[in-house]
Each structure stands twice: as C-alpha cells, then as structure tokens.
C-alpha cells in the first residue's frame, strides 16, 4: 500500500484514504468495524483491471484519526464517505463496495446525497428494523454481545508475527484466507510508541462503542432513499445475516437484488476474496 492521503472530515478527524491500484472508474471500498483498508488488497488483484480501487480507513481505524469526544454514530459513516468523494473530485461514474459497517456507510451516503454512486455492492450492511416491544430480543440485546467481545479482545502484541499466530488459532480469523489474514495483520496491527511493541489500530473500547450506537432504526428507514442499483450480498453459514436479511433489504430499494454466496459467514470478503471479487465484478460490471 502506498502512503495514504488524508481527508479532513467535517468534525476535524483525519481520514486515511488509500489508493490500492487499478484503472477505470472509481470503486470506493469500505471495511467492517475493527478492520482496515488493507484487507481489500487480495480482492483488488481481481478488480484492478476494471476499477481504480480506493479504500477509506474508518475513523479510529487503520491510519485514520480518532474523534474526541468519541462519537461513532452511523450518520458519521455517511458524512465521512461524502467528505472523501468531495476531496477526490472524481469525474465520471463512481461505484462502491463495502462490508458490514463499510457497506452501511456507502448506502447512507447515497441516501443522504442521491446519485452519488452509479451502483453499490453491499455485503451484509448493518440495517435492521425495530423489533416489536413484546419480543425478548431487541437491538441492544443483538449488539451488546459484540461490544462485550470487543472489550475482551487482546490489544497488544510483541510483533506482527505473534499477532498472526494468535489470530490463526481463533475464529473468525481462523476462517480467513491466508492472504486476507496477512493483510489484516499488516494494517490493523500498528507500532505502540508507549511499549515498543505492537497494538491494534482500532482500540477495543472504540470498537465496542461502534456496536453500542443507538441509531439502527433511523438507518433502516433511510435505506428506502437509495435509488441507485444495489446488490445485497450475504453468506449462508452460521454467523451470516443470511438470505432473508438480504432479500428484505433488496425489497426496500428500487433497484435492489439479493445474492447468496455459499459457504461464507459475516466475514465473507476475508474468507473467499476471489469469490467475492467475482460477485463485485458481476454486480457492477466493468464500470462502463
């Protein structure tokens, strides 16, 4: 990865924007919570013939800055995407592909500013309807286990080799394609000036706060504002949001379609980069 350019968000946070290679129309890539732009590198090998691939490190992720005070509301995912596109001053069509929170940000940006994207590919974006009040599970029950797990995450390592060995033994990382896991360790594990070792670029407490944002219902209603074509991709294994979720979202978008990628969990883009890149190419075409 080349040194990133920095784009300043509306609240002053510096967003790292990475040119990953390729030629053609811009394809903006958004990663999942807790990850970083580098995880797209194995997919870019298959996408670079059709697109100029550019990826954003989310706020408090990768090489981007951390907001102070720590505000991680989902609306900021959209404003960050729009700030980057404004700075890039792209002429011609712009496409987007995202995973989880990255897909959420792309879609919210399109809802906020229609016709920003010519088309989107979204792997399990985080949009859910409000649950009826008499159900046992609600949004807080759904996402707080993720916050709890994030706060327990190991954050410090001697070096990247130790981090790689650590993740190779632990799900969901143990399911990742070796190239994707290596890319994750390369960008998500950064030098810790205070210890001389390495640490997670996304602090576990910040990751937990992403999961605890309370604007899920608002985002669900914004989906209907998206007018560009969207492919909602999903896995079919335990841990995936699943076909029903993708089909439900596809019905809320004028030009929406669902696609099930067999054998994948919620971390599909890191489990099968070639399969996912093929899905993105088929969905977005050559960018022409």
Q: Which among 102, 120, 94 is positioned nearest to 253, based on CA atoms?
A: 120
Q: Is residue 163 part of a domain?
A: no
Answer yes or no: is 261 within a domain.
yes
pLDDT in tens, 176-209: 999 999 999 999 999 998 889 999 999 999 999 9
In a domain, 82, yes or no: yes
- Does a structural domain hold residue 193? no
| Pick from 99, 95, 102: nearest CA to 53 | 95
Instruction: Provide the 10 A C-beta neighbour count for residue 250.
Output: 16
**How many domains is the chain partitioned into structurally?**
1
Say whether pLDDT at 131 is over 90: no
Three-state DSSP class for residue 34 = coil
277 in any annotated domain: yes
Q: Are 69 and 96 in contact (CB under 8 A)?
A: no
171 assigned to some structural domain? no
Residue 130's domain comprises 5-135+216-284
CATH number of the domain within which 236 lies: 3.40.50.1820
Tell me how far apart the alpha carbons of residues 50 and 84 are, in angstroms, rounded to a whole number: 21
Q: What is the mean pLDDT of residues 227-246?
A: 96
**Whole-structure pTM value:** 0.93
Residue 206 lies in a domain: no
In a domain, 131, yes or no: yes
Within 10 Å of residue 140's Cβ, how many Cβ atoms? 12
At residue 132, the pLDDT reads 59
The pLDDT of residue 286 is 64
């Amino acid at each position: 990865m080349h040194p990133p350019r920095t784009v300043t968000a509306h609240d002053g946070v510096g967003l790292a924007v990475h040119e990953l290679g390729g030629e053609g129309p811009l394809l903006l890539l958004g990663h999942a919570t807790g990850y970083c732009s580098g995880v797209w590198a194995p997919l870019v090998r298959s996408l670079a013939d059709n697109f100029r691939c550019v990826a954003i490190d989310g706020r408090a992720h990768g090489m981007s800055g951390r907001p102070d005070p720590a505000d991680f509301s989902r609306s900021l995912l959209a404003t960050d995407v729009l700030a980057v596109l404004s700075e890039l001053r792209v002429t011609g069509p712009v496409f987007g592909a995202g995973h989880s929170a990255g897909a959420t940000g792309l879609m919210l940006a399109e809802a906020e500013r229609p016709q920003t994207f010519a088309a989107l590919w979204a792997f399990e974006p985080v949009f859910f309807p409000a649950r009826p009040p008499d159900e046992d599970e609600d949004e807080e029950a759904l996402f707080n286990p993720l916050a709890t797990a994030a706060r327990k995450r190991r954050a410090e390592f001697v070096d990247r080799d130790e981090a790689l060995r650590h993740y190779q033994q632990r799900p969901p990382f143990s399911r990742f394609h070796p190239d994707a896991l290596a890319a994750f360790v390369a960008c998500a594990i950064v030098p810790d000036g205070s210890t001389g070792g390495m640490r997670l670029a996304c602090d576990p407490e910040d990751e937990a706060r992403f999961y605890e944002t309370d604007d899920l219902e608002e985002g669900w209603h914004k989906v209907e504002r998206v007018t560009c074509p969207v492919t909602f991709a999903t896995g079919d294994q335990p841990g995936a949001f699943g076909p029903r979720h993708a089909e439900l979202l596809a019905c809320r978008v004028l030009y929406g379609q669902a696609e099930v990628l067999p054998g994948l969990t919620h971390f599909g883009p890191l489990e099968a980069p070639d399969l996912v890149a093929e899905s993105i190419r088929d969905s977005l075409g050559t960018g022409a």
